Amino acid sequence: MNDKGRADTVGEHLNELAARLKIVLYALLVSTTFFMVFPANASFIKDPLAFYDPLIALVLQQIVRDVLPPSVQLIAGEFTAPLEIYLIGSVLLGVAASTPIIAYEIYRFVDPALYPEERKAIYPFVTSFTLLFLIGAVFGYKILAPFMIWAMIPFFRLTGAVPLIHVMDFYSLVFITTLTAGFSFTMPIFFVLLVRFGIIRTSLITTRRKYIYAAMYIITAIITPDGGPVADLALFVPMAILLEIAVFVGKRYEKKGKLIQQPSLTPEPVGIRCKFCGNLVEPSSIFCAGCGKSQV
């Protein structure tokens, strides 16, 4: 539906989608370029022709200070690895900076199609998703990624190896761990939303806990970068706690009867119900076809 209450055609929806995607792409391009070329300090003003550090350099240096232990040193590994990290880091920061624009464009495209009951459920979902993603990302960056590297240092001493790490491996571990932890923390929100819409019930978890948790641990072991079973457990435990909280919230919706019923797309049959047998009686008919009794 558009602002005038008229149903839009498929072509109009596609044109609107293309226009909003274009805005998102422009925002990503501008924000990524900003991190790639904007100077990080005032040295650029003094000597514009000299090589200067862009904003992405400050971010990458801060990651090294926050995550990499002093006893471990970075090496390039490959000649083009620093350039790849420079590009990947700029794109990721560009996506993060463009998130408000992306969220707004999704909101403007989806909002007209939502029923009032769905709108009341979706907006708290978006808020909860954002908060849990940020909490998970901070957990992955501040706790999980440093813990993975710290857990591997003793094995360097045991094997007599020099603690060196390729720059691509290091930043990949930090980026993947941060994003994985962020999205992992949001999984319970989807569970609550599915319960709220009546698609699944909390009994799906409560009656199969040991299987659900076993599968969850296997998934965390697959998606978590190298760090051993201890690192897998470090991500599994908060996910299990969040899942139990999601089950608790879902049960409250079930008990209070606040599940959202989807509107039926099947038109209601025309006519009245027989007051004797309940069968449908056509408006032009006086007698019920089921029991034969008069409705007059």
Tens digits of residue pLDDT in 125-179: 788 888 888 899 999 899 888 888 888 888 888 888 888 888 998 998 899 888 8
In a domain? residue 26: yes
Q: Are 53 and 69 found together in one domain?
A: yes
Q: Are 257 and 151 found together in one domain?
A: yes
pLDDT band per the 50, 70, 90 thresholds, residue 199: confident
Per-residue pLDDT at 275: 65
Tens digits of residue pLDDT in 242-281: 889 888 888 888 776 656 555 544 454 556 766 656 667 7
Strand pairing category for 272-273 and 73-75: unpaired
Q: Are 69 and 172 found together in one domain?
A: no
Per-residue pLDDT at 50: 63
Total residues found in the chain within this entry: 296
Question: Average model confidence (pLDDT) for the chain?
Answer: 81
DSSP code for 227: S
Mean pLDDT value of segment 58-80: 88
Mean pLDDT value of segment 186-210: 85
In a domain? residue 125: no
Q: Are 279 and 259 found together in one domain?
A: no
Residue 53 has φ and ψ, to the nearest 5°, of -90, 120
Instruction: Give dist(CA 55, CA 131) in Å, integer.
Output: 26
Q: Around Cβ 13, how many Cβ atoms within 10 Å?
A: 12
**Residues with Cβ < 8 Å from 106, sequence gap 6 or more?**
20
In a domain? residue 124: no
The least confident of 11-25, 107-121, 122-136, 150-164 is 107-121
In a domain? residue 79: yes
Mean pLDDT value of segment 16-40: 91
Q: Are 11 and 108 found together in one domain?
A: yes
Give me the domain span that covers residue 73: 1-113
Q: Are 238 and 157 found together in one domain?
A: yes
Q: Which pTM was predicted? A: 0.71
Q: Are 147 and 236 found together in one domain?
A: yes
Q: Are 30 and 59 found together in one domain?
A: yes
Q: Are 177 and 247 found together in one domain?
A: yes
Between 196 and 262, residue with greater pLDDT: 196
Q: Are 211 and 153 found together in one domain?
A: yes
Instruction: Decide which of 113, 131, 148 is a domain's last residue.
Output: 113
Structural domain count, the chain: 3
Q: Are 219 and 259 found together in one domain?
A: yes
In a domain? residue 93: yes
In a domain? residue 287: yes
The least confident of 23-32, 65-74, 149-158, 261-270 is 261-270
Q: Are 167 and 107 found together in one domain?
A: no
In a domain? residue 214: yes
Instruction: Decide which of 113, 147, 167 is a domain's last residue.
Output: 113
In a domain? residue 128: no
The tokens describing 227, both together, are 């760090």
